[in-house]
Structure 1
């Protein structure tokens, strides 16, 4: 489960922001999770709940924003959100597509306790 190492890095980032801003802790963490990011949201939540108890994120809420897969087809020039984990254009059936969103994991926002 690589979600544990992801949460470890996330908490380290939170600690850095708390120190840089002379805050007391973190109230809320917002993370964007792409459908093709390779991260299982439920496991990420469990890992966060497990590891937050020892530091600056102790009382923090984790908000996960799930980002669906978005494709751009270079054959028909359509943008699509296929609704499943496929890179086939739902409009024309082409494999000549480019993923434009939904494969990343981003720390979007931190709400600090001052």
Structure 2
């Protein structure tokens, strides 16, 4: 389950921010997770609680913002929303798509005390 390692990385980011900005408690962590990121939001929620339990983020609320997969269709020259890789352009049916968004997972905001 790579979500556990991702959550450990998230906690590492949170702890680094705590050191550099001098806060002592995290109340909420807001993550942005792209539809094409291969990250399961439910697994992240489960793993986050386990990893945060032994950190500055113990008891913190986890908020997840899902972002769509976005691709540029080379055939019809449009930006289109896609749910997964290797699907055709919803506008013209072409498979000549270049992913331009929705692969990311990032810490968007922290609520701290």
Task: Please report how far the alpha carbon of residue 108 of structure 1 lies from its aligned counterpart in structure 2 after TM superposition.
Answer: 1.0
Q: How does 1:35-50 map to 2 (within 5 A)?
A: 35-50=35-50
- Secondary structure in structure 1 of the residue aligned to 2:53: helix
- Equivalent residue pairs, number: 112
Unaligned runs of 5+ in 2: none
Give TM-score scaled by structure 1 length: 0.91
Task: Please report how far the alpha carbon of residue 4 of structure 1 lies from its aligned counterpart in structure 2 after TM superposition.
Answer: 0.3
What is the match of residue 74 of structure 1?
74
What is the match of residue 85 of structure 1?
84
Task: Please report how far the alpha carbon of residue 59 of structure 1 lies from its aligned counterpart in structure 2 after TM superposition.
Answer: 2.4
What is the match of residue 31 of structure 1?
31
Unaligned runs of 5+ in 1: none
Which whole-Å deviations, capped at 9, do the CAs of 1:55-104 have from their partners, x for residues lacking one? 1001211111111111111211122113x314421111111111121111
- Secondary structure in structure 2 of the residue aligned to 1:49: helix
Asked whether 1:64 is paired with 2:64, we answer: yes
Task: Please report how far the alpha carbon of residue 107 of structure 1 lies from its aligned counterpart in structure 2 after TM superposition.
Answer: 1.2
What is the match of residue 7 of structure 1?
7
Asked whether 1:97 is paired with 2:83, we answer: no
Q: Following the alignment from structure 1 to structure 2, what is the Cα–Cα distance between the partners of residues 30 and 88?
A: 32
Give TM-score scaled by structure 2 length: 0.92
Q: Following the alignment from structure 2 to structure 1, what is the Cα–Cα distance between the partners of residues 36 and 96?
A: 18
